[in-house]
Structures are given as structure tokens and as C-alpha cells.
Amino acid sequence: MSTAFRLRKGSASPAGEAGELNVIPYLDILMNLIIFVLLSMTGLATWGVVNATAPALARPGDAPASPPVAQVSVRVSRAGFSVATADEVVFTTPTLDPGALRAGLVKVKATMPAVTRVFIAPDADVPFETLVATMDATREADGHQALFPDVSLAVPR
């Protein structure tokens, strides 16, 4: 059988002849991986951005700064809850009872209706279930009345 007839029929090439390597599928896969890695890196870099600018210091004669934003913070420890606003401690509870916390926060919300953010600062030894119950108690009252739906956690000490 002749070499030309074998090549036309699709059989193996004769010894010494090398076939052509098709690199197009390999390049397609490589380009997809490069694009995926680049997009992943920009997404991760966006999440990791931290605003590290220092606030400007007020100098004598400057215009007064805007009034401080009212804030509510809840301190959680094994001894109970302590709720404070920016200028004073509003109330404390002797136990970790979410119902008592919710009742106190309803009163705080009545004095600060525009505030939606609460900062929760748990101690390191507070159980996770207690922390979740605290977050639930700060979000809404019993009648589905919104209290402080924007919850921020502070790092435990």
C-alpha cells in the first residue's frame, strides 16, 4: 500500500513524519483562565480597601463642624447588657434577657427616631447564641416595629 493512499484513508502517518499540533484549544483555555484570575484579583482588591485617611483637626477660627451623629451602642457581657448613646449610659440589665433589652431599646428609639445603626460590642466570653439573640433584639420590636436594623459588630476584647 502506498504512503499517499494511507494518508488519505486516515491511518497513521509513516515513520519520520510529524503531525501538526493544534494549539488553539489550549490558547482558549489559557485566555479564559487569565481573564478569570484578573477579574478575581480586582474583586478581592476592592473588598480589601480600607479608608485610612486621618480626620482633619479643627483649628481655632474654623467653622464649627457638623453636629456629632447620634449613635447607640450595646455592650454585651456575662453580667448583662449596657446600652449607651453618644453622651450617656441609658440603661443596663442585670441578666442577658433579650426581652428586657428589646423593651429598653423601644424607649431609646422613641427618643431617637432617625437613628437606624446600633453598635454591638460583645465580650470575648459571650456565647455565640447570646450574640445572635442580641442582634435579633436590636433589629425589631415585638410588633415588627423596626428599631435599629443596621447592626455593626465591634471586635471583642
pTM: 0.54
Architecture of domain 72-153: 2-Layer Sandwich (3.30)
> Which H or E run contains 32?
helix 24-47
pLDDT tens digits, one per residue of 20-62: 888 899 999 999 999 988 877 766 555 555 555 555 555 666 6
Residue in the block written with cell 445572635: 132
Please tell me whether residue 3 adopts helix, strand or coil conformation. Answer: helix
Sequence spans of domains, the chain = 72-153
